[in-house]
Structure 1
Amino acid sequence: MTTSETSRFVRLRVDLVMEVTDSGALGGAALDRIAGDEFMPDDERARSQGAVRGDDAEALAHLVDPFDLVSAVPGVELAQASWSSELTDYDPDSPEWELGVDDDYEGESDLDDEVAGDDEGDVAAGGGGRL
């Protein structure tokens, strides 16, 4: 229960590793999403289309929307989101990839220093974006 002495804001950390099984389908879906965005300026559209061609991580970042993860959760409203996508060497047998293991987490994050930005959901160059 939230009281006046506790924060009403909750940071939810989610770490996903996905295997790209069809790079063409992924890239095509990202290009379709970009083409269908009526609010994206033409110069940004051209940059985004170039970025997703041949870059699965960039394509995925254009298709994942954190709002979709929480929009059906009752009693919450998304205040801020940022996300990124990168290629990684994944070894499911390595202890490094055990669920719940995060040696770098010390209760703080580089996200703590971010200021709430625009709410257009645009994906920035480099495979990330912010709502």
Structure 2
Amino acid sequence: MTSTELTGQDAPRYVRLSIELIAEITDEQALKTAALAQVENDEYLDDEERTQSVEAIEVDPSGSLAHFIDPVALLGDVPGVELASATWESAQTEFDPEGEGWDEYTVDESASAE
């Protein structure tokens, strides 16, 4: 019995995936340079989108990181799945690895060393 049979649906089903990543920018200039190159070489951006992207990169380094996110690559090799829609954003955030709630997804280094 498939999950489609369990729900009684014959039509394709949609699943919303929520992924949260915290990235540390260790070299803002290197990121900015790479993002500007990415925007310059993006064949799918029209001139207006390209101008807006360059402005966003100049204003905020977190905007630079968004140009390297590729949701198609995340699902591209998953059999039986087609990307229907994708949105994402990047924004500066506070990060306290010692704070409550931040450690729930920390990789246990001792467990992976075995």
Same fold (TM over 0.5): yes
The structure with the largest helix share of the pair is 2
Distance 1:39 1:66, change over 3 A: closer
Q: CA RMSD of the aligned region, Å?
A: 1.9
Amino acid at match of 1:38: E
Q: Report SS of the residue matched to 1:53.
A: helix
Identify which of structures 1 and 2 has the higher relative contact order when contacts are C-alpha pairs closer than 8 Å and 6+ apart: 1
Match of 2:112 in 1: none
- Determine the C-alpha separation between the residues in 1 that align with 2:19 and 2:42: 26
Match of 2:13 in 1: 8
* 1:31 pairs with 2:36: yes
Match of 2:76 in 1: 71
Consecutive unaligned residues in structure 2, runs of 5 or more: 106-114
Contact conserved, 1:27 with 1:54, CA < 8 A, in 2? no
Give the TM-score normalised by the residue count of structure 1. 0.67
The structure with the largest strand share of the pair is 1
- Determine the C-alpha separation between the residues in 1 that align with 2:16 and 2:48: 33
Consecutive unaligned residues in structure 1, runs of 5 or more: 101-131
Within-5 A mapping of 1:1-131 = 1-3=2-4, 5-6=8-9, 8-99=13-104
Amino acid at match of 1:14: I
Count of residue pairs the alignment pairs up: 100
Match of 1:116 in 2: none
Contact conserved, 1:70 with 1:78, CA < 8 A, in 2? yes
Give the TM-score normalised by the residue count of structure 2. 0.76
Over alpha carbons, which structure has the higher Rg?
A: 2
Identical amino acids, percent of aligned pairs? 42
Q: Report SS of the residue matched to 1:44.
A: helix
